[in-house]
């Protein structure tokens, strides 16, 4: 459950690190159950069509509230790790519930998160990262995350559109794949991946009969105030949640969580 110095070193060397059992099965079961029964989550979900026309679903929101999802995003366990990585006070950029449904869930094309965040949201420094916690097992069969190990060292690559998604310059991706290892991040429920905003990543479609759900919380160095983004949370230092997710009152997300709309 602890983010160690060895994890931190691996993150800086490889551009990502997976911490096994960072959350317990009970904790992720609670979040997963809440998420699949949550009407607001499904009402606010968006489809993103991949290059082959398959759709993958996500719900994205910016504001932190008193819901269990927000307490999770602010949990001291994650925030301590994030602040070791960023080496300073962190802010919550956004959270996303990723819903890759059995047999239909589309792919995520190769991209860097910063490719989009730099261009569209005006964050000048890549002092940002994503934290993906698997709510269900994530395997090659159901389209697990893939990373090009060490690609964060390339810096930001140009991005354009690929289907409805923002994709990295494919020539650069293909060259990177010739000289850097491609890693498939097979994860159990409760495993957490921390990845640098310039690490090239993708995932294949889910053609299996098992869902692949995860929650991704994204963080910014609080001092890296974007010049375009209007969301207050992206540069407001986080107040970590020190309590126990399992004994908290279970509150779902509110209608006012500042959802991304299409
Ligand atoms: O979880 C996945 O399949 C990929 C998600 C992703 O690449 C992203 O949200 O930036």
Residue 249 lies in a domain: no
pLDDT: which is higher, 104 or 182: 182
As a whole number, mean pLDDT of residues 6-27 equals 98
Cβ–ligand 1 distance for 145 under 6 Å, the answer yes
Q: Which of 56, 98, 100 to mutate to test the pocket of ligand 1 (most atoms within 8 A of CB)?
A: 98
How far apart (Å, rounded) are the C-alpha atoms in residues 9 and 19? 13
Number of domains the chain contains: 1
Give pLDDT tens digits for 53-65.
888 899 999 999 8
pLDDT at 229: 80
Structure tokens at 194: 């921390």
pLDDT higher than threshold 80 for residue 245: yes
CB of 108 within 6 A of ligand 1: the answer is yes
Q: Where residue 159 falls among pLDDT bands split at 50, 70, 90? A: very high
pLDDT of residue 105: 82
Counting from 1 in the atom list of ligand 1, the atom nearest the Cα of 111 is 7
Q: Which atom of ligand 1 is nearest to the CA of 214?
A: 1
CA-proximal residue: ligand 1, atom 9 (nearest): 216
Average pLDDT in the 106-128 region?
A: 93
pLDDT at position 93, please? 97
What region, left, alpha or beta, does residue 39 occupy, with left being phi > 0 and alpha being psi -120 to 50 degrees?
alpha
pLDDT digits (tens, 9 = 90+) for 44-96: 999 888 888 888 899 999 999 899 999 999 999 999 999 999 999 999 999 99
Residue 247 lies in a domain: no
145 CA to middle of ligand 1, Å? 7
Residue 261 belongs to some domain of the structure = no
151: in domain:
yes
What tens digit of pLDDT does each residue of 182-210 get? Answer: 999 999 999 999 999 999 999 999 999 99
**Cβ of 113 below 6 Å from ligand 1:** yes
* 172 part of a folded domain: yes
- Quick check: CB of 93 below 6 Å from ligand 1? no
**87: alpha, beta or left, given left = phi > 0 and alpha = psi -120 to 50?**
left
Q: Please say whether the beta carbons of 150 and 14 come within 8 A.
A: yes
Q: What is the β-pairing status of strands 201-203 and 145-148?
A: antiparallel
Q: Please give the residue range of the domain that contains residue 203.
A: 5-235
Ligand 1 nearest-atom number relative to CA 98: 1
Q: Ligand 1 centre from 146 Cα, in Å?
A: 9
* Domain assignment of residue 250, yes or no: no
Does residue 211 belong to any structural domain of this protein?
yes
- Say how far apart CA 119 and CA 125 lie, in whole Å: 12
Answer yes or no: is 59 within a domain: yes
pTM beyond 0.75: yes
What CATH number should be reported for the domain holding residue 122?
A: 2.60.120.620
Check pocket membership of 216 for ligand 1, CB cut-off 6 A.
yes
For a pocket test of ligand 1, which of 116, 132, 186 has the largest count of ligand atoms closer than 8 A to its C-beta? 132
Atom of ligand 1 nearest to the CA of 56: 3
d(CA 101, CA 75): 27
Q: Is the pLDDT of residue 262 over 80?
A: no
């Amino acid at each position: 459950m602890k983010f160690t110095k060895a994890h931190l070193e691996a993150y800086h060397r490889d551009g990502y690190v997976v911490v096994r059992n960072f959350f317990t099965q009970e904790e992720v079961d609670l979040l997963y159950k809440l998420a699949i029964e949550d009407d607001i989550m499904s009402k606010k979900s968006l489809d993103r069509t991949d290059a082959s026309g398959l759709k993958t679903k996500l719900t994205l929101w910016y504001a932190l509230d008193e819901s269990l999802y927000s307490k999770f995003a602010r949990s001291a366990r994650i925030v301590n790790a994030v602040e070791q990585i960023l080496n300073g006070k962190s802010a919550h950029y956004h959270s996303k519930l990723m819903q890759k449904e059995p047999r239909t869930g589309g792919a995520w094309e190769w991209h860097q998160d910063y490719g989009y965040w730099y261009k569209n949201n005006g964050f000048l420094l890549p002092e940002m990262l994503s934290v993906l916690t698997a709510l269900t097992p994530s395997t090659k069969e159901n389209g697990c995350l893939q990373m090009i190990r060490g690609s964060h060292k390339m810096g930001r690559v140009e991005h354009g559109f690929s289907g409805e998604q923002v994709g990295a310059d494919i020539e650069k991706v293909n060259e990177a794949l010739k000289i850097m290892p491609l890693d498939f991040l097979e994860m159990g429920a409760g495993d957490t991946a921390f990845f640098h905003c310039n690490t090239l990543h993708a995932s294949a479609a889910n053609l299996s009969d098992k869902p692949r759900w995860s929650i991704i919380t994204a963080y910014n160095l609080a001092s890296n105030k974007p010049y375009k983004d209007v969301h207050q949370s992206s540069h407001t230092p986080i107040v970590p949640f020190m309590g126990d997710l399992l004994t908290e009152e279970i509150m779902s997300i509110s209608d006012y969580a500042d959802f991304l709309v299409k």
